[in-house]
Amino acid sequence: MSHEQRSFKVARMVVRRLIIPLLADFTVAGLENTPHTGPFIAAANHKSMLDIPILMAVLPRRPSIMAKDSLYFRGSHWFWRWGDAIPVRRDGMDRKALRAAAERLQQGIPFGIFPEGTRVREGSLGTGKAGAGMIALRSQAPVLPVAFTGTASILRGNRPHLRPQVTMTVGTPIPHKEIAAAGSPQAATDLVMRRIAALLPPEARGPYSGNQQDGSS
């Protein structure tokens, strides 16, 4: 194990066992649904910047993350390099980022993405972008739906609001054959979003509030 791998393992432990319990009354369910081997795409809703470190620290296998390029401000690059993150432009389809994601998955590295493309702090789910479906279709990797609730309450008006109730629910993986059957990238994303929505309270499902198969454990 390299020095970088050891340091990230320690950081994961610190985030999981110290920082998260300090900031939130945190519960997680469904971790046993995480694939033990091979590549997978962890697709989650996005309410807070804290979703990213929580996803990276709590999943049994740490995913590489796609993060918008505006987050790469001065002083933050070390974190994104350390986390093997991929910067992505929000204006249109970033093919360079999509290729980088495909390369990670081809190497057997789990990959994390937030299909809404931006934080949706208030209210229900936003609409998923086609890029997530494109990655899933091209990589042929299963998609692991993940739902966060309460993370937006940790920071309010740039001030910490300590220990709100936060949950992370991991659903059952969506096999590639189901993703492929959806057809287009947008239809594949919509399938993933419906599975994420099924893990959320009905009032938080937004445009995906219709009948759907529950992907929870």
Q: Where are the alpha helices (DSSP H) in the chain?
A: 3-14, 20-23, 51-58, 77-82, 95-106, 130-139, 176-182, 185-198
- The ranges assigned to domains in the chain are 3-208
Distance CA 7, CA 86 (A): 20
pLDDT, position 81:
63
The whole-number pLDDT of residue 173 equals: 98
Q: What is the pLDDT of residue 69?
A: 58
Q: What is the pLDDT of residue 216?
A: 44
What are the backbone dihedrals phi and psi of residue 41, each rounded to the nearest 5 degrees, phi first? -110, 115
81 contacts: CB under 8 Å, gap ≥ 6? none
Bridge partners (DSSP) listed for residue 66:
86
CA angle in degrees (0–180, nearest 5) for 40-41-46: 150
Question: What confidence score (pLDDT) does residue 146 get?
Answer: 97
Burial 110-120 (b: 16+ CB within 10 A, else e): bbbbbbbbebb
Tell which CATH classification among 3.30.365.10, 3.90.1170.30, 3.40.1130.10, 3.10.270.10 matches the domain 3-208: 3.40.1130.10
* Among the listed residues 120, 152, 131, the one whose alpha carbon sits nearest the alpha carbon of residue 41: 131
Positions in the chain whose pLDDT score sits under 70: 1-8, 67-83, 89-93, 155-161, 211-217
What does DSSP assign to residue 149?
Answer: E
Contacts of 36 (CB under 8 A, 6+ apart): 61
Dump the DSSP string for 161-172: ----EEEEEE--
Cα–Cα separations (whole angstroms), residue 33 to 3, 36, 38, 157: 29, 9, 13, 35
| CA distances in angstroms from 209 to 124, 183, 215, listed in the order given | 10, 21, 14
